[in-house]
Amino acid sequence: MSDLALGYLSFPILLLMIFLRAPVGLAMLLCGIGGLWLATDGTTVFMARLKSEVFSTFSSYNLSIIPMFLLMGQFATHSGMSRSLFKAAEAWLGHRKGGMAMASVGACAGFGAICGSSLATAATMSKVALPELRKYGYSGGFSTATLAAGGTLGILIPPSVILVIYAILTEQNIAKLFAAAFIPGIIAALGYMVTIAIYVRIYPEQAGVKERVDLGARIKALGAVWPVLVVFGLVVGGIYNGWFTPTEGAAVGAMGTALIAFLAGALNWQVLRQSIVETATGTGMIFFIILGAGFYNGFLALTQVPQEVSAFVTGQGFSPWAIMVLILIFYLILGCLMDSLSMILLTVPIFWPVISGLDFGLTTEELAIWFGILVLIVVEVGLITPPVGMNLFIINSMDKETPMTATYKSVLFFVASDVVRVIILLMFPAITLVFV
């Protein structure tokens, strides 16, 4: 069997392992090691890579940004910022039809600005918002779907761990990617709120209305979210203005949220230990996936699969726009099977050479940033796409009384909103590139 055929054969094997519930990082690692063994007729190459790949990957200075952002999210969770965000959004929006659900989306967007993780945003905000949504008569399916969709804002609104990984893979500027994600993130939050407004008019019985809060109470609730604004402004503003590097910004953000948690009386030795352990666990999971992807992508590079795919696609005579649409559709389908980080690590080394060779009237840097935001959005959609959206399972595990089918039915409205947003950003790249 030729190396190229071996490379193509590895894809169905990888998907089969994932379907059989093997951890994605382990599946990619085994496919990479097995592929290198067969392609080189021995253990010399993969043993040499095993010796060098681990050190060269995990000693990367750029990757140190990941545990810092995860630690920042942990401190933000324990400091009560999530509750303050929800109470502020609730005070301003709760009296509207569907307002409590809109408040949940707004709070998710705010928390995503200091967290960087979709799953963490969904899980944290669910603890705060689910009881309130139930209290005011919101149906279980509508509530869980809203929080699952709102949680996806955690990886779109900067800072974002997934954007950091994409920047490293495509050798792009992290600060510019963060800036490019800002407007699409706002559009996403507003799009979800419009979706909620439409939903509650179609199904008015699934949402209640909270009494209006007076202006003084609204301003007081808004004043309680100043820590979020300070951390977000310091981290993202500092990175964008060149005050410090993204890695330094992540460290500053982690220190800032720790200080806020301490001043709020929420940071003791037990919370500190729990935050560090959970950060280490999350970092270990991400790094293992990165290691597995490194081995698998190294094997694919050896078999020339990315180059052959690029040559085949560009040789078919399709327009650049048709190729882009096909790639985005592939991401939507793959999102039903894999988590967002694994998709990015697995596919970007294959698809980016294809996209970079096409003419969209943009510079290479602009193209990389635009493509990165589009990929991030469709990966985000995969988190709430039935039947295997990760956020759906996270939220459903926290509300076992709600059937998964009810969540599926309601979340399709948010998926439709995401599809509309992808189409808008695809047709108008300038929206993404305003601050670049």
The answer to whether 31 and 9 are in contact (CB under 8 A) is: no
Cα 412 to Cα 139: distance, rounded to the nearest angstrom: 15
Cα 69 to Cα 71: distance, rounded to the nearest angstrom: 5
Cα 121 to Cα 107: distance, rounded to the nearest angstrom: 9
Cα 327 to Cα 400: distance, rounded to the nearest angstrom: 35
Q: What is the pLDDT of residues 165-223, one digit of tens each?
A: 899 888 898 889 988 998 999 999 999 999 999 999 999 988 887 778 787 888 888 77
Q: Count CB neighbours of 150 within 10 A.
A: 35
Band of pLDDT at residue 306, cut at 50, 70 and 90: confident
Residue in the structure block whose two tokens are 């979210």: 225
Cα 202 to Cα 189: distance, rounded to the nearest angstrom: 20
User: Which two three-digit tokens encode residue 10?
Assistant: 């590895």
Q: What's the chain's average pLDDT? A: 86
Q: What is the pLDDT of residues 72-93, one digit of tens each?
A: 888 887 777 888 888 888 888 8
Q: What is the pLDDT of residues 264-294, one digit of tens each?
A: 787 888 888 988 998 898 888 888 888 888 8
CA neighbor of 382 nearest in space, from 121, 148, 140, 199? 148
User: CA–CA distance from 282 to each of 51, 56, 68, 303 (Å)?
Assistant: 24, 20, 11, 32
- Concatenating the DSSP letter of every residue in 353-366 gives HHHHTS--SS-HHH
Q: What is the pLDDT of residues 345-365, one digit of tens each?
A: 888 888 898 898 888 989 999
27 has pLDDT over 70: yes
pTM value is: 0.86
The answer to whether 388 and 339 are in contact (CB under 8 A) is: no
Band of pLDDT at residue 388, cut at 50, 70 and 90: low
The more confident residue out of 178 and 50 is 178
- Concatenating the DSSP letter of every residue in 91-148 gives HHHTTSTTHHHHHHHHHHHHHHTTT--HHHHHHHHHHHHHHHHHHTT--HHHHHHHHH
Instruction: Specify the pLDDT at position 72.
Output: 86
Q: What is the pLDDT of residues 404-434, one digit of tens each?
A: 888 889 999 999 999 999 999 999 999 999 8
368 has pLDDT over 90: yes
337 has pLDDT over 80: no
User: CA–CA distance from 130 to each of 76, 122, 144, 217, 334 (Å)?
Assistant: 19, 11, 8, 22, 29
Band of pLDDT at residue 96, cut at 50, 70 and 90: confident
Instruction: Specify the pLDDT at position 423.
Output: 94
Cα 415 to Cα 233: distance, rounded to the nearest angstrom: 30
Band of pLDDT at residue 397, cut at 50, 70 and 90: confident
Share of the chain above pLDDT 70, in %: 99
Cα 6 to Cα 303: distance, rounded to the nearest angstrom: 7
| Side-chain-facing half-sphere of 116: CA atoms under 13 Å | 33
Cα 41 to Cα 37: distance, rounded to the nearest angstrom: 6
Q: What phi, psi does 98 have (nearest 5°)?
A: 80, 10
| Side-chain-facing half-sphere of 117: CA atoms under 13 Å | 23
Instruction: Specify the pLDDT at position 334.
Output: 79
User: CA–CA distance from 322 to each of 313, 318, 426 (Å)?
Assistant: 11, 6, 11
Within 168-299, strands assigned E span none
| Side-chain-facing half-sphere of 98: CA atoms under 13 Å | 18
Cα 227 to Cα 85: distance, rounded to the nearest angstrom: 10
| Cβ neighbours of residue 423 closer than 8 Å, sequence gap 6 or more | none
